[in-house]
Structure 1
Amino acid sequence: MWAVQLLYQHEFNDEPMPEALARFWESRKAGPSLRGFTEALVNGVLDQRDALDQDLQRYTEHWDLKRLNAVDRNILRVALFEILHRHDIPPVVSINEAIELAKSFNGDESGRFVNGVLDRIHRDQGRPSRTTLTAVAGRTISPPETKGHEDSPA
């Protein structure tokens, strides 16, 4: 959740991330491992944001990613980064956490939307849902092949 908060804040101000992180941690109690994990997610998403957004745009077919709610956009970015680059986290964990965050911030409809997007991405990955991967060569994400409504999120 903190990674999403930091990315959301970063989207609306020009503060350099090192200063934003320092200010963010001043008001929160977190040990070094939680800080390290959160900062790795934030920096990873920022480093890969253009590629993540391109992938997300393909899977949000009828939505302009820039017009998407900023919280949902950052939830999707973090979850997609975890699915593609954090092979120590099972995809089902990333997807479920993203759904719960979306529902808590923006309601059930948002949770269903996030679920639909991430489920399609995960299926195209072909990665096991409940296991971690220790070594994966390159990105395997591919754009969706169908553009119809028959595979729209439930």
Structure 2
Amino acid sequence: MKRSKSREKAFQAIFQMDVSEFEPQEAIDNVLEEGEKADEFLKGIVYGTMEHRQEIDSTLIAHLEKWSLDRLGTVDRTILRMTVYEMKYETEIPINVSIDEAIELAKIYGDEKSSGFINAVLSKVKTTFEK
């Protein structure tokens, strides 16, 4: 599975976990099509985002202006969480690639303002991880 497809499946799984009581593996199984297998990248994003959620949320809260995580739509919050995870822990992936992929997810699943909002927040978060 290509990484962009894995990201999309990870987004769908994390979204399910945010709106229901699904465990990570159950959510992953729900988003896979028949015969499709979860690759390590997909699993890493889902499990990693959930494992580091408190830290990720703290990072996001520090970079949200006039917003709280609770006020964000589930789509935007999910994309932001998984991308912050990827930016911090999937270090072999350039941060700009992670941001670009997040913007593409926002264009597909978010509203007309989501992609710009996601870009603005992640651009601020990016400064935290640059050396």
Q: Which of 19, 28, 36 is equivalent to 1:30?
A: 36
Is 1:4 the counterpart of 2:11? The answer is yes
TM-score (norm 1): 0.73
Count of residue correspondences: 124
**Residue 103 of structure 1, CA deviation:** 1.8
Is 1:65 the counterpart of 2:69? The answer is yes
Is 1:111 the counterpart of 2:111? The answer is no
- Show CA shifts across 1:20-45 (max 9, x none): 333333x25535xx522101100000
- The separation in 1 between residues aligned to 2:17 and 2:43, in whole angstroms, is 13
- The separation in 2 between residues aligned to 1:120 and 1:13, in whole angstroms, is 30
**Equivalent residue runs for 1:1-154 within 5 Å:** 1-25=8-32, 27-31=33-37, 35-127=39-131
- The separation in 2 between residues aligned to 1:64 and 1:88, in whole angstroms, is 30
What is the identity percentage for the equivalent residue pairs of Structure 1 and Structure 2? 32
> Structure 1 pair 63/14, CA: closer, same or farther in 2 (3 Å)?
same
Q: Describe the SS at the equivalent of 1:87.
A: coil
The runs of 4+ residues in structure 1 deviating greater than 4 Å are none
Segments of structure 1 that go 5 or more residues without pairing to the other structure are 128-154
**Residue 107 of structure 1, CA deviation:** 3.5
**Residue 46 of structure 1, CA deviation:** 0.2
Segments of structure 2 that go 5 or more residues without pairing to the other structure are 1-7
CA RMSD of aligned residues (A): 1.7
- The separation in 1 between residues aligned to 2:11 and 2:52, in whole angstroms, is 15
